[in-house]
């Protein structure tokens, strides 16, 4: 059986920083270095978190008998219908739908160019 400990030991030519454990390297790093290499939190991430937080607060208040959003079944049906219509409209708009003759000819030329 071979000894696998030599794979984990630092080599003799390793610098002091390389020989430090990762936690020590993190502690030794400057705050300026961390801010320069750490990307900022995206605005979309913050907005999704806020919406999730509001939904959780609403759910907890509803469970305790204090509904914040007092919505009846008819309103929910209308909102789902609106969301479905808006989603399908956006999806149809997003897809590349070539309706005019000129657009279809252009797409055929591009397809032929890519096939060659």
**How much is the pLDDT for 4?**
55
Tokens 């961390």 label which residue?
A: 34
**How much is the pLDDT for 8?**
57
Residue 61 CB: number of other CB atoms within 10 A?
13
Mark the ranges of the chain whose per-residue pLDDT is less than 50. Answer: none
Termini Cα distance of the chain = 57
Residue 3 near residue 12 (C-beta atoms within 8 A): no
Read off the pLDDT of residues 22-35 as tens digits, 9 standing for 90 and up.
555 556 555 556 55
pTM equals 0.37
**How much is the pLDDT for 44?**
87
**How much is the pLDDT for 39?**
81
């Amino acid at each position: 059986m071979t000894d696998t400990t030599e794979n984990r030991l630092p080599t003799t030519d390793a610098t002091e920083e390389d020989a430090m454990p990762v936690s020590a390297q993190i502690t030794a790093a400057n705050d300026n270095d961390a801010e320069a290499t750490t990307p900022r939190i995206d605005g979309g991430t913050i907005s999704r978190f806020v919406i999730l937080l509001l939904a959780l607060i609403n759910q907890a208040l509803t469970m305790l008998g204090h509904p914040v959003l007092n919505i009846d079944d008819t309103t929910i049906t209308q909102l789902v219908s609106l969301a479905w219509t808006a989603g399908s409209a956006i999806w149809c708009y997003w897809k590349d739908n070539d309706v005019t003759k000129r657009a279809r000819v252009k797409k055929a030329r591009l397809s032929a160019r890519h096939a060659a």
